[in-house]
């Protein structure tokens, strides 16, 4: 059994109430360890440790802070194999993804913010003629809460923690209860890197207990959350009367818009990835595919053929393109969407069935699934499924596809495939999304603002946006005599 403990004040601790939750291996369906079912008392201990560490950490020089974060980054890379295996075991994602994307990106999150903090600056405003000078101080908030989901476990956990620490805050963090393992291993790395005790504290447990206790804690003044839209709404409701600073990165139902003049081969290859990478469990996946009529039939045929070549299997096999879905509950949820397709005239063009993987018969495997739908108004196009399921639909005009792309409650990202510059300019301006990719997908530059509009969230992460979120601006106005 591989058990997880809380990481508080630099030490690994069992939960105060000694209650535990089973942790499943999605690729086999077996319990392989237990994690703390933490409550308010554990969060209180974590807060206390963070509070005590704050005065010293917020006064370290930027150089010192930066060096420690760079060391954490390097140690993540030094332990890449162990971390990648742990991520795949916990989440079911292909080992190739864990090794090449998730863990390297966690390292980059630390190295990026280690450097960004040395370049972060604030403004000065001279009140000309009034003999006064204003400058803005950007001070760390104090103790902040970071709560992350299961789809990109260490990747998103560190995407929050790294800027929070770089800005001089101390952190109480909670990884998803479904995928706690790599966050657990991060504690050891932080100790080895010399991160002072209490600067980062990791509490494990369920959302409505442990997560809620973090949000509810009166002295945890800011919450950075990534997860589902419903959860985001609950957090906002609880935090608003306490006037907490909130960053909410929520769900998506992203359009992938394909015009006939696109670079077809590149579009096809990328669309397979943007549909099914990580079993479609990425908030940025293009789950609504709209194809211009002249190439619709060709695309349908080629896309089905390309997707039929994808290999679903044990995520530890290096040639598996798709591994297991994260949990049995999630598999059931995704299946129920597929089963509902026929209720509104949807036609399954490929997939739709669970897959039996040899020696892993109880794992949560599902075929990549393509459903042709008749209307953007159907449930499959309006609700986030967050699994290996995409819909496809033809369109006639720019105006029509724009209306369908925007006619959804979400607004995280959009992808556009065209070689026409004027169309690119017109459409990128009008697409309701926080991020628009043109002729590519998830090409990330960590300096750019990341986040969504509408029900996809509030606020932006990434680059200086994250450092602004994790600091309070203070205006100092000095009057002087001439």
**What is the nearest approach in angstroms of ligand NAD to the Cβ of residue 78?**
27
Following CA atoms 313, 255, 227, 343 in sequence, which dihedral angle do they give, to the nearest 10 degrees?
-70
Between 163 and 251, name the residue whose CB sits nearer to ligand NAD.
251
Which residues, listed in sequence order, are joined to residue 223 by a DSSP beta bridge?
145, 246
Respond yes or no: is residue 283 known to be catalytic: yes
Q: Cβ(68)–Cβ(75) under 8 Å?
A: no
Between 156 and 414, name the residue whose CB sits nearer to ligand NAD.
156
Q: Is the C-alpha dihedral spanning 325, 330, 331, 335 positive or negative? A: negative
**What is the nearest approach in angstroms of ligand NAD to the Cβ of residue 225?**
6
Task: Locate the DSSP E strands across 287-434.
Answer: 288-292, 347-350, 369-372, 389-395, 410-411, 413-417
Between 168 and 323, name the residue whose CB sits nearer to ligand NAD.
323
**What is the nearest approach in angstroms of ligand NAD to the Cβ of residue 329?**
10
Q: Cβ(209)–Cβ(39) under 8 Å?
A: yes
Question: Would you call 348 helix, strand, or coil by DSSP?
Answer: strand
**Contact positions toward ligand NAD, by CB under 6 A?**
147-151, 156, 174, 176-177, 206-208, 211-212, 215, 226-228, 231, 234-235, 249-252, 283, 384, 386, 412, 452, 457
CA distances to 6, 87, 204, 479 from 20, rounded to whole Å, are 11, 20, 10, 59
Respond yes or no: is residue 249 known to be catalytic: yes
**CA–CA dist 289, 368 (Å, integer):** 14
Let me know if 449 is exposed, middle or buried by CB neighbors in 10 A (0-12, 13-18, 19+). middle
**What is the nearest approach in angstroms of ligand NAD to the Cβ of residue 232?**
7
**What is the nearest approach in angstroms of ligand NAD to the Cβ of residue 461?**
7
Q: Cβ(94)–Cβ(322) under 8 Å?
A: yes
Q: Is the C-alpha dihedral spanning 186, 187, 193, 195 positive or negative? A: positive
Q: Which residues contact 398 (CB under 8 A, 6 or more apart)?
A: 423, 426, 427
Nearest by Cα to 23 from 211, 179, 187: 179
Q: Which of 146, 283, 285, 378 is an active site residue?
A: 283
**What is the nearest approach in angstroms of ligand NAD to the Cβ of residue 431?**
16
CA distances to 134, 145, 357 from 449, rounded to whole Å, are 27, 20, 40
**What is the nearest approach in angstroms of ligand NAD to the Cβ of residue 199?**
21
Task: Locate the DSSP E strands across 336-412.
Answer: 347-350, 369-372, 389-395, 410-411
Between 328 and 426, name the residue whose CB sits nearer to ligand NAD.
328
Between 166 and 250, name the residue whose CB sits nearer to ligand NAD.
250
Between 27 and 212, name the residue whose CB sits nearer to ligand NAD.
212
**CA–CA dist 259, 419 (Å, integer):** 9
Between 27 and 148, name the residue whose CB sits nearer to ligand NAD.
148
**What is the nearest approach in angstroms of ligand NAD to the Cβ of residue 418?**
25
Neighbours of 269 (CB within 10 A): 11
- The b-or-e profile of 285-298 (16+ CB within 10 A means b, else e) is bbbbbbbbeebbee
Q: Which residue is nearest to ligand NAD (CB)?
A: 207
**CA–CA dist 9, 7 (Å, integer):** 7
Nearest by Cα to 406 from 345, 451, 454: 454
Between 99 and 460, name the residue whose CB sits nearer to ligand NAD.
460
Q: Give the single-character DSSP code of 322.
A: B
Q: Which of 87, 177, 190, 249 is an active site residue?
A: 249
Which residues, listed in sequence order, are joined to residue 249 by a DSSP beta bridge?
226, 457
**What is the nearest approach in angstroms of ligand NAD to the Cβ of residue 81?**
25
**CA–CA dist 315, 163 (Å, integer):** 31
Between 235 and 390, name the residue whose CB sits nearer to ligand NAD.
235
**Active centre residues (catalytic):** 249, 283
């Amino acid at each position: 059994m591989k058990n997880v403990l809380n990481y508080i004040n630099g030490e690994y601790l069992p939960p105060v109430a000694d209650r535990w939750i089973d942790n499943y291996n999605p690729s086999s369906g077996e319990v392989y360890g237990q994690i703390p079912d933490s409550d308010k008392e554990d969060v209180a201990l974590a807060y206390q440790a963070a509070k005590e560490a704050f005065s010293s950490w917020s006064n370290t020089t930027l150089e010192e802070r930066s060096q420690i974060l760079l060391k954490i980054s390097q140690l993540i890379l030094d332990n890449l194999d162990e971390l990648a295996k742990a991520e795949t075991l916990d989440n079911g994602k292909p080992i190739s993804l864990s090794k090449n994307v998730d863990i390297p990106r966690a390292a980059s999150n630390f190295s990026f913010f280690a450097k960004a903090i040395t370049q972060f600056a604030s403004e000065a405003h001279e009140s000309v003629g009034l003999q006064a000078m204003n400058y803005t101080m950007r001070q760390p908030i104090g103790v902040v809460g970071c709560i992350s989901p299961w789809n990109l476990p260490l990747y998103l956990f560190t995407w929050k923690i790294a800027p929070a620490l770089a800005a001089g805050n101390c952190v109480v963090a909670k990884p998803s209860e479904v995928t706690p393992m790599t966050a657990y291993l991060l504690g050891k790395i932080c100790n080895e890197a010399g991160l002072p005790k209490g600067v980062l504290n990791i509490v494990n447990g369920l959302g409505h207990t442990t997560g809620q206790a973090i949000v509810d804690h009166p002295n945890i003044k800011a919450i950075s959350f990534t997860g589902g839209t419903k959860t985001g709404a609950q957090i906002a409701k609880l935090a608003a009367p306490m006037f907490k600073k909130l960053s909410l990165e929520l769900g998506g139902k992203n359009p992938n818009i394909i015009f006939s003049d696109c670079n077809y081969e590149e579009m096809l290859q990328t669309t397979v990835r943007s549909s099914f990478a990580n079993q479609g469990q990425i908030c940025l996946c293009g789950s609504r595919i709209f194809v211009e009529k002249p190439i619709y039939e060709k695309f349908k045929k080629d896309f089905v053929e390309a997707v039929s070549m994808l290999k679903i299997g044990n995520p530890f096999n290096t040639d598996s393109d798709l591994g297991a879905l994260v949990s049995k509950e999630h598999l059931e949820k995704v299946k129920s969407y597929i089963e509902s397709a026929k209720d509104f005239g949807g036609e399954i063009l490929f997939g739709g069935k669970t897959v039996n993987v040899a020696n892993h018969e109880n794992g949560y495997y599902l075929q990549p699934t393509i459903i042709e739908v008749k209307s953007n108004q159907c449930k499959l196009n309006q609700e986030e499924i967050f699994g290996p399921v995409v819909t496809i639909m033809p369109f006639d005009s720019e105006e029509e596809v724009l209306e369908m792309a925007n006619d959804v409650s979400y607004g995280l990202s959009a992808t556009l495939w065209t070689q026409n510059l004027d169309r690119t300019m017109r459409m990128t301006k009008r697409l309701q999304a926080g991020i628009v990719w043109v002729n590519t997908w998830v090409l990330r530059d960590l300096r750019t603002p990341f986040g969504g509009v509408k029900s996809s969230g509030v606020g932006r992460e990434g680059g200086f946006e994250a450092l602004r979120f994790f600091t309070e601006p203070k205006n100092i106005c000095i009057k002087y005599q001439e």
